[in-house]
Structures are given as C-alpha cells and as structure tokens.
Amino acid sequence: MKIKFWGVRGSIGSPIRPENVKHKIEKILSLASPTDIQNEQSIHSFLNSLSFSSSSTYGGNTTCVEIRDKEGNLIIIDGGTGLRELGNQMMASEFGKGTGHAYWILTHTHWDHIQGIPFFVPLFLPGNHFEFISCMNDAEKRLEHQFVFTHFPVSFDHYAANKTFQYLEEGETISLGPNIQTFSKAVRHPGGSFSYRFMEDGKAIIFASDAEFNLEEMENIDTYIDYFRDADVLVFDTQYTFEESLQKIDWGHSSASIATDIALRAKVKKLVMFHHDPSYDDEKLDLVYLRALKYKEMFDPHGKLEIIMAYEGLEIEV
C-alpha cells in the first residue's frame, strides 16, 4: 500500500502568511555562505541541510489522504481542502476521461473534512464512479445539506459522476477492491468519528484522526491497543500539546505524547503525527515534532518506533 497526504491541518485551513514567507527567506539568507549559493547543486545541498520549517512548509490544507493498493486502485479518505489538489492531479488519469473509480471513506462530516468536496473536479464528470463508505447511515443526506443553495450555488445532484453510498457497521470487515480489506472503530469526538484499519498482504495502515485520548482513557485502553497493534503506519490525531490537551477536554483531539504512548504499547512501526492545529506555524510544528522525539527517547530509547510529522506531499509505502 501507498499513502499520500494532501491535507494535514485540522479545524480550518491555514495558508502561510506573507510575513511568514518573508521570515523564511530572511532566515535562509542569514544562514547562507557564498559557497552555499555558487551553483544549483550547492543551493540544493544547502536547502536540504536546513530544518523543515526553514526550507519548506507543512501545508495549510485540511484533511485529505489517499491510499493506493498494489495495483494502483484508489481509496480517498475524507474531503477537506486538500481534496482539490488531489482532484486536479486525478484529472490527468482515467478520471479526466470519465472512466475512473474510487472508494471514498468518510470518518465524519465536520466541516474541515468535507469542505473540499464542492471543488473536486472529478465529481463533475459523468462516467466516474465514487463509492462513499462510512459508519454514518445518513452520509448522503449530510453531503446534500452541504450543497443547499444558501450554502453553495450548485446542488449535489449537479455533480454528474455516479455516487453510491454504503453504510458500514462498526467492526464489520469489507473489501475495497481485490486487495484491501478495512474495518472501523469509533473514537471519541464531538458528534462522533470513526477510525479505519486498512489491510493488504499482512500490512496495515490505520487512519485515526479526530480522536481524543486523554489520561483517564489511557487507564482503560486495552481494546484500542488491540486495534492499533502491530500497525505498519498509524496516522494519529496530535493537534494539541500535552498541556493544551489538559485544558481542552472533550474538544475531540489528542496530543503527541498520548499518541506516542499508544504507538509504543501497540508496537506500531511508524507513527504519523496528523491534524495539525491551524494556529501553529511551521516553526511551532518543528518544536512539537522535536518534543515528540525526545518523549519517545525518554521512555523507549532503544525502541524501533519511527515518528514522522505529516506534511502535504508526504508519501509512505508499506
């Protein structure tokens, strides 16, 4: 399986501000020496030596992730603003010819997870087929409501692609094409949300965004540990710092330290920190990432858990 991240923010889109762009440029220039900018190769090497926040950005689009099986079949997870860029890329494939097919998993329908759907171009083309799958028995009605005229000038019916909806019982395993199986597990979040475990050839990717795990729940978390156990990739909600999570009980999100604890207990191979707070700039996210690494080293210095910070364009193959 391959997973690619198109939107990694939570709550609301947060594009980089002009003053932040200027700050990045000033910092890069202050660090550069004459030998760093002699030619294209030296510039490339210099930029690669900088911290992620100095030379790049984690991105400001809200939740959207794609998974591909070994034959390239497509699974879309949620539809935040990152979905628009995914759709634009898809138009260069069979979806641009009206012959595409994809499974579309919905974790829940809070605004930051569906706000890109109206701008997803492949939905306009007749012949494309999208199979929406969720643990909500009214998912179609929810999306139709997003498109009422007071909210958006085009109705959901105007999108000419074939749209089918399948209700999935929590814990029920289904096949997504010939290679991947998935099942869901509810997670704590206002209004409800579901995580999904995707499996192919003994490998597992778990998507568990918009999930609140706090200290109280950590004392009785065995069923979740079994669910997360031995995942090759665990994409986990780490919107808050640990200190913020103590102040925002019942807001529906977790911290990096809680995510690391869960990943270590479940013997996860790779933890991907996800659903970044919209108020965090790239430098703050660098610090959050470094704190997570130090936390892991403190409690499991010789362990094999790899921790990654999600950013737009990140691709992982398992």
DSSP state of 299: H
DSSP alpha helix (H) spans, the chain: 18-31, 40-49, 52-55, 82-90, 139-146, 215-218, 222-228, 242-247, 256-265, 282-299
Q: Would residue 155 count as lying in a domain?
A: yes
The pLDDT of residue 316 is above 80: yes
Give me the percent of the chain exceeding a pLDDT of 90.
Answer: 91
- CATH code of 264's domain: 3.60.15.10
Threshold 0.75, pTM exceeds: yes
Q: Would residue 139 count as lying in a domain?
A: yes
Q: Would residue 299 count as lying in a domain?
A: yes
187 in Cβ contact with 221 (< 8 Å): no
DSSP state of 189: -
pLDDT digits (tens, 9 = 90+) for 217-232: 666 688 899 999 999 9
Q: Domain limits at 299?
A: 2-14+46-317
How many domains does the chain divide into? 1
pLDDT digits (tens, 9 = 90+) for 238-268: 998 777 877 777 778 889 999 999 999 999 9
Q: Would residue 40 count as lying in a domain?
A: no
pLDDT digits (tens, 9 = 90+) for 273-304: 999 999 999 999 999 999 999 999 999 998 89
Q: Would residue 235 count as lying in a domain?
A: yes
271 in Cβ contact with 307 (< 8 Å): yes
Q: Would residue 32 count as lying in a domain?
A: no
